[in-house]
Copies of this chain bind each other. A is one copy, B any other.
Amino acid sequence: MDQLLGERPRSDSAREPATSKPGPLRPTTTDVERARSPRTRHAPHTILFMETDPAQRIYEVLEGIVMLYKLLPDGRRQVVELVSAGDLFGISAQQIYDCAAETLTTTTIMAYERAQVEASSDLQKLVAKSLARKLTALHDHAVTLGRKSALERVTTFLMRFIPDRGGYDCIGRSEQGPDEKTIHLAMTRQEIADYLGLTIETVSRAFSELRRRGAIVIDRQDEVRITDVCRLCHLTGAH
């Protein structure tokens, strides 16, 4: 696997307008090389493509997390999806992408040419499957953005990173022992805020409130220990 660490200054200030327009893929491979090795690796905070770039390729995340976001002309930003291993991004019904894609962590992605997808029914099935999963996620996100309080949003965000819990098919707490779980946040407070439709301060206050209530312990800024998953789950508003 090629070890290309694309670098690009992060732009997490929501203010920065979408000025410079790098090509869809940042790494300095030539087109020919890329065609031979569609698997690429990128440093955190690498912009993979921008909104309105021509939607030539669909990408699969093999490892890492990618954030998809949209910007309003005055700089307001909304993170519309968080894409992790096994999921696709860059799917568009139009000729251009409808949002920008930026890595959060060091990420390995696989690129598929559009034509390649059109030709393969296996790939098409993969796309359909991924889209169906996204649909549910986006519906949930709409509820979070439209109807939940700041505390509920942040709690919902935290629960998102705990597999098999909180959903319709929640497996519940284990029989014995504490219902504890530590999660690693690959996002800054600003990114979390832009995902949840809040400000950085409100996110920070929500974390503090959860800490005050004993629901979480913040070991490091990006390391949150949930002391009682089941209890936190009830703060999401969905249970």
Residues of A within 8 A of B (CB): 52, 68, 70, 72-74, 76-78, 80-81, 91-94, 96, 98-99, 121, 124-125, 127-129, 131-136, 138-143, 145-148, 168, 194, 196-197, 237-239
Number of copies of this kind of chain in the complex: 2
Q: Is the CB–CB distance between B92 and A136 below 8 Å?
A: yes
In the assembled complex, the CB of A200 is this many whole angstroms from the nearest CB of chain B, namely 14
Q: Is the CB–CB distance between A147 and B52 below 8 Å?
A: no
Q: For A77, what are the chain B residues with a Cβ–Cβ distance below 8 Å?
A: 147
Q: Report which of B72, B94, B125, B132 forms a contact with A143, defined as CB distance below 8 A.
A: B72
Q: For A94, what are the chain B residues with a Cβ–Cβ distance below 8 Å?
A: 136, 168
Q: For A96, what are the chain B residues with a Cβ–Cβ distance below 8 Å?
A: 168
Q: Is the CB–CB distance between B142 and A78 below 8 Å?
A: yes
Q: Is the CB–CB distance between B132 and A135 below 8 Å?
A: no
Q: For A52, what are the chain B residues with a Cβ–Cβ distance below 8 Å?
A: 168
Q: Which residue of B lies closest to A125 (CB)?
A: B124
- 17 example contacts (A-B, Cβ-Cβ < 8 A) are as follows A52-B168, A68-B139, A70-B142, A72-B238, A76-B147, A80-B142, A81-B139, A91-B132, A93-B135, A98-B139, A99-B139, A124-B125, A127-B128, A128-B131, A131-B134, A134-B135, A138-B139
